[in-house]
Amino acid sequence: MGFLFDRNTWQEIFGSISKNRTRTIITIIGVLWGIFIYIALSGAAKGLDNGFDKVFKTVAINSMFVWAQSTSMPYDGFKTGRLLQLKLEDVQTIQNRIPEVQYIAPRITQGNFGSEPVYTVRGQKYGSYVLNGDYPIYTKISTKKIYDGGRFINQEDIDQARKVIVIGERVEQELYTKDEDPVGTWIRVGSVYFQVIGVHKLAQGVSFDSDTAMFIPFTTYQKLYNSGDNIGYMCIAAYDNVDVVQVEKDIKTLLKNIHRVDPKDERAFGSFNLGEAFSKTMGFADGLTFMSLVVGIATILAGVIGIGNILLISVKERTKELGVRRALGATPAEVRNQIVMESVFLTLIAGILGIILGAGVLALINSFTKDIDFPYTNPTVPIPYVIGALVIMVVLGTLIGLIPAQRAVSIRPIEALREE
């Protein structure tokens, strides 16, 4: 293999390649296109993957909502169509009985699901917004970004049932002028005055709450609306490594048991399982990555075969030249090496150019999609993929180069010279 490091070998190869410019360019374009498609596709798939990750970052991925509906089957002496109501003690029961549950946040809400939004006034300005009674643990399930100087509801707010409120970005825009700091000011919600303790920023990506939502301590809500132990719905986060679909089933079975509902009644409790939705989305992204890999490699393969094809034609064209070389003392091994090295060299050059071009296009797409609402972030191709592609190309380039090389040496020099 010493010839690989011989400067003369490379000069000869480079000479032959650079002097046959058209052939070289056409050959390079084939593989360049292949690796470009490969890089661009797998980068884009990765970008989408990252985009989804970013979208789901603001919420616990293994989370779900559970709410009560009405029964659809008679059971235990109750007739069908009984309205069900989730209670605070249900939360405690779930926490105790289902160990897979990491966090559970009960919430009571006004203004969602068809109920009247709450009329809110500040001075001359007013609006109607969603009002939630929450526990601080809620932020473990859905991150709340609070603007500087503010905070979310804490345990003391709950204990003392303080009249404090966290408002949404749009609520701030509608009730305050631009340079006012809402924190510390008072607004009237319904008929009660609340002190604003924070403004929450609308999360990019998946968010459980809109920017018109307002949050008050759960205990304050209880007093305000006299809602007792009723809760609207539960936000539940399971541990990362558990089967969230099974947890969802367990919770529902438990709730049916507590509320004396037929175990076969599928409509008594409603739920939305984000974990399931997430894994479906991620499955889609994985499928896309796999597909881009397959398409990319197939395109590279096509490109390399193209190189082999063109070299085969060029060997035919160069029969005489190769004959002359052999008359001048080139051994069959030297001729073969030269053809194979030309193939590998062309493949590599094309591959590297393709990678650069692909990376450029990915960067371009990234800069275009940066500011628009599209789940596409930081499209990258992992280095092992790139190296893998290069290795595949070198191997294929060698193998495919062997065909024309073998052809080149199978022609005896005298036949080659005779050919006019």
Partner 1 sequence: MIQIKDLHKSYKMGKNSLHVLKGINFNVEEGELVAIMGSSGSGKSTLLNILGMLDELDEGTYTLDGVAIKNLNETKAAQYRNKFLGFIFQSFNLINYKSAAENVALPLYYQKVARKERQEKALKYLTQVGLKEWANHLPSELSGGQKQRVAIARAMAAEPKVLLADEPTGALDSTTSYEVMDLIQKINDQGNTILIVTHEPDIADMCKRIVHLKDGVIIEDKKIEQVRASKYV
Query: What residues line the site for partner 1 (CB under 8 A)?
Result: 7-8, 11-12, 15-16, 19-20, 320-321, 323-334, 409, 412-414, 417, 420
Say if residues 27 and 306 touch (Cβ distance below 8 Å). yes
| Minimum CB–partner distance for residue 416 and partner 1 (Å) | 9
Question: Which is nearest to 216 in space by CA: 235, 181, 188, 236?
Answer: 188
Tell me the two tokens of residue 290. 């796999």
Residue 338 CB, nearest approach to partner 1 (Å): 11
Other CB atoms within 10 Å distance of the CB of residue 234: 24
CA distances (Å), origin 8, targets 15, 290, 338, 409? 10, 43, 11, 21
Is the CA virtual torsion 42, 43, 44, 48 positive or negative? positive
Minimum CB distance to partner 1 smaller for 394 or for 417: 417
Based on CB atoms, which residue is closest to partner 1, 142 or 337? Answer: 337
Q: φ, ψ for residue 68 (rounded to 5)?
A: -100, 145
* 267 vs 412, beta carbon nearer partner 1: 412
In sequence order, which residues have a C-beta less than 8 Å from that of residue 287 and are 6 or more positions away? none
* CB of residue 25 to partner 1, shortest distance in Å: 15
User: Please, which residue, 151 or 320, has the CB nearer to partner 1?
Assistant: 320
User: ∠187-164-149 over CA atoms, to 5°?
Assistant: 90
| Rounded alpha-carbon distances, angstroms, from residue 128 to 115, 120, 124, 210 | 12, 6, 14, 13
Shortest Å, Cβ 328 to partner 1: 4
Smallest gap from Cβ 48 to partner 1, in A, equals 47
Give the nearer residue to partner 1 in terms of CB position, either 162 or 325: 325
Q: Closest CB to partner 1 among 142 and 338?
A: 338
* Smallest distance from partner 1 to CB 382, Å: 41
SS3 of residue 154 by DSSP:
coil
